[in-house]
Amino acid sequence: MGSNRTQHRKKMALLCFLAAVAMVGLMVRLGYLMLCRSEHYSRMAEDLHERERTIKAARGRILDANGVVIATNRTVCTISVIYNQVKDREGVIKVLSRELGLEEDGVRKKVEKRSSREIIRTNVDKEVGDRIRDYHLPGVKVDEDYKRYYPFDSLASKVLGFTGGDNQGIVGLEVVYEDYLKGINGKILTTTDAAGVEVENTFEDRIEPVAGSDLYISLDVNIQQYAEQAAYETMEKKGAKRVSVIVMNPQNGEILAMVNVPEFNLNEPFTLNTEVPAQLAAEDRQELLNQMWRNPGINDTYEPGSTFKIITAAAGLEAGAVSLEDRFSCPGFRIVEDRKIRCHKVGGHGGETFLQGAMNSCNPVFIDVGQRLGVDQYYRYFEQFGLREKTGIDLPGEAGTIMHKKENMGLVELATVSFGQSFQITPIQLVTTASSIINGGNRVTPHLAVKAVSGDGAEVHRFSYPVKENIVSEETSASMRYILEQVVAEGSGKKAALEGFKIGGKTATSEKLPRSMKKYISSFIGFAPADDPQVIALITIDEPQGVYYGGTIAAPVVADIFKNILPYLGIKEESAFTESNQ
């Protein structure tokens, strides 16, 4: 009996000891949690009783060279419901379906879904949002949001790009400068009880959003409108597939206009701008949208044709392979190895100087210059002029030049390349390279963005772009300006002449592949004033119907654009010199 009592006492003592140890451990743990981890658990408790909603930041505007707003925001609303706070579900369903024009079944599924917050609809007009707010329906939240708005609808659509449902840039400048434009979202924090119902007489905590920066660009709305009007008239008159125009300052690479018609409505970017069958597969529709959004000026390549003779001429002059007075003979063709390559003038131009050959856009003359240079030297100038690299324009999806590999470039390939065939470049590459040849020899970077400015007017960032100097000498550049001025004054580009102004330029008519289709791209590149270029323009007319020669249908369009924009840019007419004003 005594031993049993002793064992019993020992067990009781052990049990009491363990209980005491456990009690001490719990007290230590409780003290640790209360003293050392109190802040953490306070935050957890707050999180449990706080409900968070996002306040969207206003996206930065895009403004043109004169400060005209070409992309901005409109206030819209996001309508949502919080399940635990809704008191009259049937009433909420009826009001929301009626005001938002939605089917009751769809609204019911969302209102009856047990979730912390269910979005009923976004991008609701503010007037509708205000009406819903006036019902004072518990559990229904009306939060103001922003929707991108483009005041000029389709103007420069393939340059500006657009935003998606979350107001994030998708294509164009909107996506390239997303980090500057997007801003920082804010928050609304409300207090709820254990059931998730907002506690009355408590304040909302707000973290205010920070608006995105405004983006100022070099594009000029007035010049863009002049060029766009000319492009649409040309497309309609010639029944063309599309027409593109690039207007640029050749001295610094600033893009003044970039037109690609048909454009599309930026405020309805998912609405096709062409007629399509009523029943269209989703993947086919998406492909048509992708094509509609493409910017042919930078995304697509083409055979430049005779406008590329600018590059061959500059290389020949720079290398000393030809001079303006060198004489050539054109019988209407050249034989290169086993190929007979024709001139556009079947009967030939006969005897002519290099200057006359350029004015006549004579293929045999430029074939001869290419042969004098040879593959190695021609390829070296091709690279020196920057044609093997992309221009670096601040728009997405720029395509690169498609050129023969040097080792695969024989005399026939050299001959065709020398007058602009058998390879492909982008329009932006051509206008950039031509600018660099006529501006004194400095390879500029084409661009649109000038500066980013915060909401209070402070400059956040000023954009700068690389320049590669001396791709040709000033002497060669001056010779090229003179040659191209003569092309317009008395040569194949006469229809680009504009009374009172010195215009330089080059025409082109290139046949699309496959040649059997007999489809063409007509183009003209022109600049003014010819002796001090301040503006350069390239027009490409894709698949014109009827007459398709660049000198006939493309050159007059650039003349018409220049007629409008040269006085606007402050480029004055030159007075005719006569005996009466000596």
The closest of 107, 110, 145 to 124, measured between CA atoms, is 145
The closest of 269, 324, 274, 317 to 293, measured between CA atoms, is 269
The answer to whether 428 touches 422, Cβ cutoff 8 Å, is no
pLDDT computed for residue 3 by the predictor: 65
pLDDT computed for residue 466 by the predictor: 97
**Cα-flanking dihedrals φ and ψ of residue 243, to 5°?**
-135, 135
pLDDT band with cut points at 50, 70 and 90 for residue 503: very high
Type of residue numbered 511 = E
Classify 475 in phi/psi space as left (phi over 0), alpha (psi -120 to 50) or beta.
Answer: alpha
The answer to whether 192 touches 49, Cβ cutoff 8 Å, is yes
421: helix, coil or strand? Answer: coil
- The pLDDT of residue 448 is above 60: yes
Residues in the chain: 582
pLDDT band with cut points at 50, 70 and 90 for residue 22: confident
Percentage of the residues of the chain whose pLDDT score is greater than 70: 92
Which residue among 306, 418, 422, 477 is the active-site one?
A: 306
pLDDT 10s digits, 179-219: 999 989 888 776 665 545 555 545 567 788 899 999 999 99
Q: Measure the CA–CA gap between 249 and 218, rounded to whole angstroms.
A: 10
122/534: higher pLDDT:
534
The closest of 93, 53, 94, 45 to 77, measured between CA atoms, is 53
Type of residue numbered 125 = D
Q: For the chain, what are the domain ranges?
A: 226-263+295-446+464-568
pLDDT band with cut points at 50, 70 and 90 for residue 409: very high
306 is catalytic: yes
Task: Name the DSSP class of 153.
Answer: T
Find the helix packing angle between 474-490 and 309-319, rounded to 10°.
140
pLDDT computed for residue 2 by the predictor: 61
Unique residue bearing structure tokens 């609303």: 77
- The pLDDT of residue 580 is above 50: no
List Cβ neighbours of 508 (8 Å cut-off, separation of 6 or more).
304, 305, 306, 307, 308, 420, 521, 522, 523, 524, 525, 550, 554
Q: Measure the CA–CA gap between 196 and 185, rounded to whole angstroms.
A: 24
Exposure string over 67-104, b if 16+ CB within 10 A, otherwise e: eeebbbbeebbbbbbbbbbbeeeeebbebbbebbebee
pLDDT band with cut points at 50, 70 and 90 for residue 453: very high
The CATH H-level superfamily of 226-263+295-446+464-568 is: DD-peptidase/beta-lactamase superfamily (3.40.710.10)
- The pLDDT of residue 582 is above 50: no
Neighbours of 422 (CB within 10 A): 18
pLDDT 10s digits, 353-368: 999 999 999 999 999 9
45/251: higher pLDDT:
251
pLDDT computed for residue 576 by the predictor: 43
Q: Measure the CA–CA gap between 422 and 560, rounded to whole angstroms.
A: 31
Q: What is the rounded average pLDDT of the residues 80-105?
A: 92
Q: Are strands 255-261 and 242-248 parallel, antiparallel or unpaired?
A: antiparallel
- Reading the block at residue 3, the tokens are 């031993």
Mean pLDDT of the chain: 91
Counting beta carbons within 10 angstroms of the beta carbon of residue 477, is it exposed (0 to 12), middle (13 to 18) or buried (19 or more)? Answer: buried
Q: List the single range of 3-17, 286-300, 378-392 with lowest mean pLDDT.
A: 3-17
pLDDT computed for residue 197 by the predictor: 52
